[in-house]
Structure 1
Amino acid sequence: MLVIGFPTGALQANCFVLASGEGEPCVIVDPGQDAVEPIGQALRKHRLAPVAVLLTHGHFDHTFSVTPVCDGNDVPAYIHPDDVEMLSDPLKGISRESAAFFGGDLEMREPSEVRSLTDGLELDLAGLRITVDHTPGHTGGSVMFRSGAQEGGRLVISGDTLFAGSIGRTDLPGGDHTSMLSSLRTKVMPLPDDTVVLPGHGPTTTIGRERATNPYLLQLQDAVRTDDAPAAPHRGL
């Protein structure tokens, strides 16, 4: 599997391009701010043809370039229905401080074709089998994407559900800390230790490393009461 990743925009949200190999169809995940040019460079360098854009959630630092990327390549965008409104009204999902930082005015519109993601959905795209896990907590429509390489490797694109050493914040509109802990318990913790994690911000990690060092996963393993769990530190939006 070919995986290309790079940070985008002021909040350094990770964008990923996935394909079965050079010169093949590909999917693009989370095209954030200023992502159009680096995506184009990656497509040309590796001779890739996009077939879809997948969105882990609706926050604009992960979706800002979705319409030019989708409509420019005549491909659909996939997003959970609980977050779809943010594609045309990005201020719905951010804090007042974030809105003020960007001048309180962020104009976006939906791509021409938007398709819904649901929990457990199996997508066959670009020669890849991708499983959708609905992981509410950071936003109501947050999802993760799981896939496996032919040689047996596993990866999960976790969006802002799981980071190296932390988790996504839950104090924004649509966020819910109890839901986040439930998502971590039911969707993240069961994953095999050798699963490579491609997060929405920051460096790549593995489930095994996070199980051993991430304070939120350690807390779940120790069966600490949910209402005693600390809120996530701010990261991204």
Structure 2
Amino acid sequence: MLIAGFPAGSFQTNCYVVAPAAGEECVIVDPGQNAVGDLDEVLREHRLKPVAVLVTHGHIDHMWSVAPVCGARDVPAWIHPEDRDLLSDPGKGLSLTTRQQLFGGLTFTEPDDVRELSDGAVLKLAGMELTVDHAPGHTRGSVTFRLPATDEIPHVMFSGDLLFAGSIGRTDLPGGDYPTILRSLADKCLPLPDDTVVLPGHGPQTTIGQERATNPYLAEAAPHAGPGRGL
């Protein structure tokens, strides 16, 4: 298994490239702001051919480069229907102040080929099987993608902004809801094996076991106020 990642743009959003091995087909997860140059370098280095772009949620820091990447490679974008409208109007997922700061005449459009994700779906792409878990709370259409364990690697979860090392996604933007994200964490994260590798939308990788032991938002007694991490 080959997983390469890099932080993209001013938001430092982790973009991942996932393939069975070098020289094979691959999928791209969350190509954010200014991701194209670094992404092209990763693809050249490992001789990879993209077959799809997967979007964990519709916030602009995760979908900024989706349309240009899909257009240049003629591949589809996969996103949950609850967040699909953010592909063409990402301002809907932001506060008014943030919209005013970010959009100086910028316009966004959907890729030509958009396909919708559903909870529990198994995507068979690039010779891999990725399980989709709908995990709302950060946005209504937030999802995670899971790869099954093999003899060589443990389970892997691309968590988007659901779960970070030591924190979770913020819930104070349009579409966010703190009780809902807690339910998503309980339903989608806590049942996973401790050795599950978590590759989040921001910051370093972690494991479910580490977060189960140390992350206050996975504790049985939930805090009264939501955190403030992520866009």
TM-score class, shorter-chain normalisation, is over 0.9
> 2:156 is matched by which residue type in structure 1?
L
User: Cα gap change, 1:105/1:165 in structure 2, threshold over 3 Å: closer, same or farther?
Assistant: farther
Matched, 1:45 2:45: yes
Matched, 1:215 2:216: yes
Task: Give me the whole-angstrom Cα distance separating, in 1, the residues matched to 2:118 and 2:64.
Answer: 22
SS at match of 2:84: helix
Residue in structure 2 matched with residue 177 of structure 1 by the alignment: 178
Task: Give me the whole-angstrom Cα distance separating, in 2, the residues matched to 1:217 and 1:191.
Answer: 13
SS at match of 2:191: coil
Residue in structure 2 matched with residue 231 of structure 1 by the alignment: 225
Q: Deviation string for 1:84-113 (max 9, x for gaps)?
A: 000000100012232233246542100000
Task: Give me the whole-angstrom Cα distance separating, in 1, the residues matched to 2:149 and 2:43.
Answer: 20
Single out whichever of 53-62 and 101-110 deviates more from structure 2.
101-110
Displacement of 1:178 after TM fit? Answer: 1.1
Residue in structure 1 matched with residue 158 of structure 2 by the alignment: 157
Displacement of 1:172 after TM fit? Answer: 0.3
Single out whichever of 11-20 and 144-153 deviates more from structure 2.
144-153
Residue in structure 2 matched with residue 167 of structure 1 by the alignment: 168
Displacement of 1:193 after TM fit? Answer: 0.2
Query: Identical aligned pairs, as a percentage?
Result: 60
Q: Which runs of 4+ in 1 moved over 4 A?
A: none
Displacement of 1:21 after TM fit? Answer: 0.4
Matched, 1:111 2:116: no
SS at match of 2:42: helix
Residue in structure 1 matched with residue 91 of structure 2 by the alignment: 91
SS at match of 1:110: coil
Q: How does 1:18-167 map to 2 (within 5 A)?
A: 18-103=18-103, 105-151=105-151, 152-167=153-168
Displacement of 1:153 after TM fit? Answer: 1.4
Q: Deviation string for 1:191-215 (max 9, x for gaps)?
A: 1000000000000000000000000
Which consecutive residues of structure 1, in runs of 5 or more, have no partner in the other structure?
none
Aligned positions, number: 230
Displacement of 1:216 after TM fit? Answer: 0.5
**TM-score, structure 1 normalization:** 0.94
User: Cα gap change, 1:216/1:131 in structure 2, threshold over 3 Å: closer, same or farther?
Assistant: same
Displacement of 1:65 after TM fit? Answer: 0.3
Task: Give me the whole-angstrom Cα distance separating, in 1, the residues matched to 2:102 and 2:96.
Answer: 10
Displacement of 1:232 after TM fit? Answer: 2.8
Which consecutive residues of structure 2, in runs of 5 or more, have no partner in the other structure?
none
Task: Give me the whole-angstrom Cα distance separating, in 2, the residues matched to 1:33 and 1:2.
Answer: 23
Task: Give me the whole-angstrom Cα distance separating, in 2, the residues matched to 1:48 and 1:66.
Answer: 18
Single out whichever of 156-165 and 92-101 deviates more from structure 2.
92-101
Residue in structure 2 matched with residue 204 of structure 1 by the alignment: 205
SS at match of 2:98: helix
**TM-score, structure 2 normalization:** 0.96
Q: Give yes or no for contact 1:70–1:111 (8 Å, CA) kept in 2.
A: yes
